[in-house]
Structure 1
Amino acid sequence: MEPFKWQCPHCNHHTTITEKNFVDREFGLSIENADGYKVLYSYFIVCPNAECNKYVLGSILFDSVYEARNGSWRHYDQKEIKHWRQVPNSFAKVFPGYIPKAIIQDYEEACAIIDQSPKASATLARRCLQGMIRDFWNVKSSTLFKEIEEIKDKVDPLTWKSIDATRKIGNIGAHMEKDINLIIDVEPKEAQVLIKLIEILIKDWYINRYEREEMLNEIVDTGIRKTEEKKANND
């Protein structure tokens, strides 16, 4: 296998995974059935961070082409039907405790239901986004649309467009179309993109601010300590 970059969902440690920390297996459905041949691909990854060392278990279900002549399945060029993680049981990342609890709850619920209901996941991502905008930027307008407009000059243009796109996709799940027979689905990969934006904003808005304040407070404390040491020596 080719080594690949990876972030542990248990400890958020960034690393590179090699054969030493990775094992995978395939199981094929070669019996004639109404839905066609399938391959279930499963893998284990063990976090190489010594302070964590926990395992991750994931699976991917593919459409497959069964090659009877050699009794094997080919799925690498076929459609991915479903991708889910059994351990830990959602794709949610672990964030620091200083992130507002309501935001983390909406984020974790959006991650937990992404496969079962991508539309509901997108709706929760929208709700999570609104909570972050209200908390971090201290804006409280009558609609999310107006709140996003209020921060247009406070974030970079690409981030603002991504935030507005999240609102629009989340609206698909939150509001029924005027024509009730018109059904607009949200795909799991589309809901996953919205969750990625939430993760980026949590890092950019909350974590970066916290780490900056910690670093600046350390500089201030160091200055005070050195001033006191100098005064003590002079006395």
Structure 2
Amino acid sequence: MQLCPQGTLLDIVNRVGTTGISQQGVCFDELFVMFFTIEIMRFLEGMHSAGFIHGHLKIDNCLLRLEDVPGGASALSTLYQPSVINFGRTLDMSLFPHNKQPTGDWPTDARDCFELREHRPWTYQTDYFGLVGIIYCMLFGKYIETSSITPQPPYNITTPFKRYWRNNLWMKLFDLLLNPCLVRPDGKLPLCEELVDIRHEMKGWLQHHCNRSSNTLKGLLKKIELSVYTR
């Protein structure tokens, strides 16, 4: 793909205070977080349905892709698309024997799934935990850490959600992503159908709230576009 010079989602997190997209002292406005979560979930569904594991999903691997607009920032439209990069750890599971699970032999940190950190076999868990880390960073403005998650399964985040967020949706998604092998009785992965169901719920909420009285989704995206062009 062509170079995307507009930066990454992490760049927006780092300058959230100057872009006007924060919400009552937290990081991104929930509307904005919901938008990007839906987009990345759709990407994962496509990858996993085709039998691919990205393997290195994190917020600094999510690029902003804004189309050049004649006339500069004053002529901006709402066309806005994220792209995911860095496929250096991507696995094509069709090349492995059925039910084969790899193990990792590289240094790990708090942004790696529990299986990798504990040298246990893994597959799609790495992408689900990567998505948790991206959402967490967008919501709270910092990387997910070991202390951010309960020490024993079923895992949950220890940082409380804001009372005005759509907590039932976030809790459902975080529970699935942190405990993917507990979702089905047989523990089978990937969880494409389950993710689709949650994504549709989130999409419905986003459609219902995108034109609220202040900070509409269109307005938030325009602020990001303007910040990219003026940085």
The answer, yes or no, to whether TM exceeds 0.5 is no
Q: Tell me which of the two structures has the higher relative contact order, counting C-alpha pairs closer than 8 angstroms and 6 or more residues apart.
A: 2
TM-score by length of 1: 0.30
TM-score by length of 2: 0.30
Bigger strand fraction: 1
